[in-house]
Structure 1
Amino acid sequence: MARTQRFTLVRLLAFIANLCAYFALGRSTVQVPFLLWSTESLPSLASPAAGHVVSSSQLTTDLSSVFSSGPHTVLLFLQDKLSKDDFTIYGGVFGNKQDGAFLNLEAAMQSSPSSLVLPALEWSAARDAPALLQETLGVSPVLVDLDTLSDLQLNPAVSNLLYFTLPYCTGLHESCEQVLRSNDRIIGKLLSIMKAKNILYTAIYTGLQPSRIIPETSMSDQPVGRSLLQSPVVENVKAPLMFNVSNTPCIMLWAQNLNVSFDLGLKWIDLATETPTFDGSLCNGTSSVLVLNYPSGIILRFAMSQKLFPVSARNWFSLDSVSLESINGTVSFSGSRGIYAPAEYSFHCMSVNSFSDALLIRGETNPNTSNWMVNFVDFQIQGFGLANGTDFSYASDCAGFFTAGIWMGLVTTLLMLWILTYGLSMILQVNTVDRFDDPKGPSISVPQTE
């Protein structure tokens, strides 16, 4: 009865401490490591992918499959605080061999036939581990320590759930390394007692809360980003320009810089820092026109079209032209040099300009617009087949497969192969002499006529 009251009091205090810590942590990434090993063969569990945070529901499913059949004796080691950094910063504390007669955590896991390591488990799942195991095994947990475990009589024919609490450093007395090293010795002694009792067991080591918190910035507080070329969204990336028809995304454009110049590049104006309107834009099944009207009086017009190419048996879209307008005139640049992609893709290029390796070719011009230039940096556009309202579709990049370096390597390799082949052919054509002159024989006389 006293033991039950003690356990109830411990759970109540732990719940209050966790509740206070929860509000103190706020919006943070609260994760704890979860280690499981057993002296008996258990159903194999797949280790999570790198960076994956195991949820409470997933842990429930895994534990249910592990303890689904037969009685099990489970040792639950709950430390006040634990993070995966405790295994790396204080390297070796869980593999100390100062107590040679006892096991340690590292040796126990290496020698066990079944083990599972979850580097990142939701804090709520670890906090509710005793209740979860109690529900899975169908037995109440028993809070024990070194002294009570030695005297405790366990029946391996039924399930047993033994609950151990381990301290963490408070910064007042011992260092964290010393506390963790002491906890490792305690775990080793407890495992040695189980080994002496000749009882098969499954051990779990985790923490009630993380010892180190990784700050997490809420996505709701950040501007909506985009996934360029299917890469993860990064901070401080401005949203793409989007033209909608009947609240449905129709055209999307993004660029790090939309530079225009009216004096041969002596002064560039970055239109990406301004917010345009889309008056005059339109789109349908075969053509799309994105018109960007800027407060400075500059207008950029992107004309796109799509059509079926029978050779590839699919629709392709192309950026037919880009027009730059101001109060002084208009100049049009043709995109016929390779600005195209499958209709369901977007087009991306790190540099789209009208002056160096130009993808935009200047059309007919007049003296007022002969010096006008455009330079779009990290440019991406899609005029058809938008998947949703926040991300581009898969991007077709303008970078060719055969770069200058690849061509140089291929030409050099072919030249060396030709030299090698020619040399081998010359060697194979060398024949030995099958007839020799006899120096002892009569000399050859050639009659001469005068």
Structure 2
Amino acid sequence: MAVGTVLLPFAVLLVLGVPWPVTPSQQVPVLLWSSESSLWSALPSAHGGHVTTDLQLGQYLDPALTTGPRNVLLFLQEKLSIEDFTAFGGVYGNKQDSAFPNLESIMESSPSSLVLPAVDWYAANILPTYLKEKLGVSPLHVDQSTLLELRLNETIPSLLVVRLPYANSAGLMVAKDVLRANDEVIGQVLSTLKSEGVPYTALLTALRPSRVNRESDFAVGGLGRQLLATPTPTPTYPPVYFNGTQNNPCILFWATNISVVMEKSLIQLTNDTFNKTDTAELIDGSSCSNSSAVLVLNYADNLRVIFHLESRFYNVSGRRWFTLNRVQVFNSTHNATFLAPQVSAPSNYSFHCQYVSSLPVFGSLLINNSTGSNWQLHIADFQIQGFNVTGLKFSYASDCASFFSPGIWMGLITTLLFVFILTYGLHMVMNLKTMDRFDDPKGPSIAVPQTD
């Protein structure tokens, strides 16, 4: 299937006005194809309106990485959005004016191909690390010249990464020229592999979207149901809790994703945190009191994640506030400490934030305070409460999203501008003055005698 036909349904959805998913995070497309057939035939295709998460992307990649070719080629572009295909791609199979003639032909002729139009930005960013863990090899950055010198083997796995740029200028023609140049690089690299008879699986994605035109990209919060779109299902597992001295819950913690990157190795902790039937071992070492709370999460290989919360009374506000002082991540050989000064809320509230992460692309609410540490911690849909807990239900959440979002500021400024124009116009109208003398058109005309 050509990109002109593969991506055409998504282009039609855009033209007809069917809304794309509105999520707090940004999305990039992921295109997959392989020289081996029937890799993704048993998997359901992604519908318009669905945002593919990191776990779902792993489900799409697992068949290709386990039963497909051992040579994986990752084309990683600096910026790319699904709108680039609809703006610069061929229409109804017409490749003459397309910026992706090689890619369209490749997707059409490949025995297996798959298009994921909207993939979570975070999932695309951790693709190199995920592929490294699955294949057991380090990524090798190559171009066309170095690829000719490689001798690939069908039985030995390899991970080849080709970096592709994007236009820094906002001009459409400049962006189209850069995309066409990237398409030529893709065609040349795949021609080299085809000439050598090397089976492969290829992916094309980007580190960030090239077009951010949704107001909700600035928002932080849950995803509501959109017209003609199926919302991304929210996990239904209960929060992790720790019972205090009176055998009542005193700490609650919940998230949809917990990931730790240790020395460039990604470790997913979500299932080990919320899908355990016996949580006694998981929270062993936790404690709580009226002024402090410590939540300890114990995992395999001596890995531990510890949240330190503290409650204090502030005279200015006349109430107690709790703060997440620090988060510690360590195992038997390495450790890291992350400060979280912005994670704060009244003690009778819980705290919620869409992303509590040390990664810069997600706001960096966690600040790495350990020198020489390459560890990263990422938590999605983070919610925690360490004081005044009643049962297994969070109190009212103090969200990290500010009330005056960019959309609200734009509305206020526009309203003030219109009010100023209206006030100025009324002022001008009220200060109009009529003339005190008028010419009488019915009176006698003035005769001017003529002299010879």
- Normalised by the length of structure 2, the TM-score is 0.40
- Normalised by the length of structure 1, the TM-score is 0.41
Q: Which has the larger radius of gyration?
A: 1
